[in-house]
Amino acid sequence: MKEVRRIKFTGKNLNDVFALPCVMMIKKASLSPLLVCHQSKMVTDRYMALPGDDIVEYSDGMWGIYHQPSDISPQTSHE
């Protein structure tokens, strides 16, 4: 499977991600929007995306959701 496009779900680009054929609905979660995709179109076990996740389309028409770890690392104390 070749990656065709990758879209970062920011939580603010709701119109862009809602237009994707894999998206079933956008729900309002407690702190941020939650993107829900059709499970039958997913190659990953995940079918819900939170802001910060990447949504990837593959050449065979299937989709994947991938969590991108935060660039912010926890501070360590030096005693």
Sequence-distant (6+) residues with CB within 8 A of 66 are 44, 46, 53, 54, 56
How would you classify residue 24: left for phi > 0, otherwise alpha for psi between -120 and 50, otherwise beta?
alpha
CA dist 11 and 19 (Å) reads 14
pTM assigned to the model:
0.78
The average pLDDT across 17-36 equals 90
CA dist 66 and 79 (Å) reads 37
The average pLDDT across 54-66 equals 95
Q: Per residue in 28-56, pLDDT tens?
A: 888 889 989 999 999 988 899 999 999 99
